[in-house]
Structure 1
Amino acid sequence: MELRVLNYFVAVAQEGNMTRAARKLLISQPALSRQIAELEAELGVKLFSRKSRHLALTPAGHYLLEQAQEILDLSAKTKRNLTKASFISGDLTIAAGESLGMQRVMNVVSAIIKEHPSVKIHLLSGDYSYAERKLDNGTVDFAVIIGNVPLANYASLTLPERDTWGILMPANDPLAQKAVIKPVDLQGRSLLNSQQAQKMHLFQNWLGNYYDSVNFIGSYNLNFNGTLMVKNHAALMLTLDKLADTSKDSGITFRKLQPELQQAIRVVWKHGVNLSPVAELFLKLLRESIFE
């Protein structure tokens, strides 16, 4: 598959119409139709199904669209970094979950863009599985990982900060009267759990014998929407400290767990990869911020 043809395919998928896509790409409609037909023949699958005047992606088409966008983004990023390697420029892409440790990372990123204004920063939010996929396919330079997850295939740098788990609740909830939350306090309560913590069975271990008496109503991967459910008194939320606004007027509050449950924060990158100049600079400044 040529990058040019992948670009044609993405344009058709986005427009849903061969004529509009051809106009956008500045080529003739018959030429574009021929390129898409040749791509389908090369892959041995149908990428589009015709619905009235609209071209809809088939399941194979949806898969190729996701992969094609990743490939084209990686190609563009590589070209920018290579053509401007004589000075600190190009793109720095970081995938991260929500964490207190991101402040240190953002301090380093801010210093880079102030000193090197041609650098472009891209921040992608997601949990560990999302960050791992982005690292593996090369579309991010670094990932910020929270928790004890397997990192054998990656190089890593542990940040001094540690994230602390607790319960986010309405400010007028009876548990808000407590200084800390113990497993026994959560009996019969409805909880929203972190997807990553759920996969790691983190709270199953912490709750112990009380696990079956807690009603886990669902999960979240980013904090904000879960916070809205807490404000609606729909559930309590297992989350990390300092991720939600718990000021006096917010209507919600946070209490740490007891026994305390903390998790390490690590910046990771792929083993054996030649980092771009801006990625090398980021790693150098991050190390200096930790060990200075």
Structure 2
Amino acid sequence: MELRVLRYFLAVAQYQNMTKAAHELLVSQPTLSKQLADLETELGAQLFIRGHRQITLTEEGEYLQARAKEIVQLADQTAANIQADQIITGRLSIGAGESVGMKRIMKVVSEIIQDYPDVKIHLVSGNADEMETALKHGTIDFAVLMGKRDLNKYSYLSLPEVNTWGLVMKKGDPLALKETISPNDLIDLPLLMSEQAIEEHPFQDWWGNLDKKMNIIGTFTLVFNAQLMVSQGNAYMITFDHLINNSNSSNLTFRPLSPTLTEPTNIIWKKNIAQSKVAQLFIKRLAASLN
């Protein structure tokens, strides 16, 4: 079945008159009649009941009408996308640590995939140094960084979501009765901390001269694994808010540090490179979400 013939068929079905359809299509009536007769022969089915003044569809004709509308619409949309340079496909690679800011990013990504089903997403987890290295090597398109870092060598967007440091513990722990956690509360506690937090020293000013009294028993890169140890009651975890399961079924709870200690969230990408169309769309939609 040719698209041109399907358009002829739909015009006759719409006007229910061969002469009027031929006039609208700018073809002669004999040509139109022959094209439709050939279509019926090709399909092996009668599509029209030809009356003296009006043409009506048979059951097979009604079925073809519904399908032909879909086929023609798809063809028209495909052509329009090509002509308007709107084809969006390919893979979007995002590397990130764990942060509440990822909720906004995943919402944008989900909407893109819904609008453009041919787009695929690849997520990579790791700390800021690992993600910057992956971005430099071209294995990811974007990196989401938490913390104060030099962004001058990148293009970037700053997200409004702020990461608040705090202590994760079992709900029955005495410290869970406090609204906030001070440096003195942490003295001699068995602490788990992220490798990035230790390497970048954001806590040096916060706990000041109590540094030597902090008992850091281990490090982690992913909160999920570390919280399994905290659930056993053998450790406490310093991490960002919104990363643990806060449901009633969870035996863990989070308390923010005091004085408050926060980290910004930024998404970065390479400067002065030609971005794919899906990457351009992601940047555009993420920027729009900030407004």
Report the counterpart of residue 201 of structure 1 in structure 2: 201
Alpha-carbon shift at residue 249 of structure 1 (Å): 2.3
Report the counterpart of residue 171 of structure 2 in structure 1: 171
Q: Which runs of 4+ in 1 moved over 4 A?
A: none
Distance 2:204 2:236 in 1: 16
Percent identical across equivalent pairs?
46
Distance 1:163 1:182 in 2: 18
Report the counterpart of residue 49 of structure 1 in structure 2: none
Give the residue type in structure 2 aligned to 1:127.
Answer: N
Distance 1:187 1:198 in 2: 17
Report the counterpart of residue 272 of structure 1 in structure 2: 272
Give the residue type in structure 2 aligned to 1:136.
Answer: K
Structural mapping, 1:133-148, within 5 Å: 133-148=133-148
Q: Does the residue aligned with 2:149 lie in a helix, a strand or coil?
A: coil
Q: Normalised by the size of structure 2, how large is the TM-score?
A: 0.69
Alpha-carbon shift at residue 232 of structure 1 (Å): 1.0
Alpha-carbon shift at residue 86 of structure 1 (Å): 6.4
Distance 1:217 1:246 in 2: 24
Report the counterpart of residue 186 of structure 2 in structure 1: 186
Distance 1:132 1:176 in 2: 36
Q: Which moved more, 1:278-287 or 1:211-220?
A: 211-220
Distance 1:212 1:189 in 2: 12
Q: 5+ residue gaps in structure 2?
A: 1-84
Q: Does the residue aligned with 1:202 lie in a helix, a strand or coil?
A: coil
Structural mapping, 1:146-165, within 5 Å: 146-165=146-165
Give the residue type in structure 1 aligned to 2:245.
Answer: D
Q: Does the residue aligned with 2:244 lie in a helix, a strand or coil?
A: coil
Report the counterpart of residue 229 of structure 2 in structure 1: 229
Q: Does the residue aligned with 1:255 lie in a helix, a strand or coil?
A: strand
Alpha-carbon shift at residue 187 of structure 1 (Å): 1.1
Give the residue type in structure 1 aligned to 2:276.
Answer: S
Q: Normalised by the size of structure 1, how large is the TM-score?
A: 0.69
Give the residue type in structure 1 aligned to 2:121.
Answer: I
Alpha-carbon shift at residue 210 of structure 1 (Å): 1.6
**Number of residue pairs the alignment of both structures matches:** 207
Alpha-carbon shift at residue 248 of structure 1 (Å): 2.5
Q: Deviations along 1:240-262, whole A, 9 cap, x unmatched? A: 00100132321111000000011
Give the residue type in structure 2 aligned to 1:164.
Answer: T
Give the residue type in structure 1 aligned to 2:103.
Answer: Q
Structural mapping, 1:1-292, within 5 Å: 87-291=87-291
Q: Does the residue aligned with 1:243 lie in a helix, a strand or coil?
A: coil
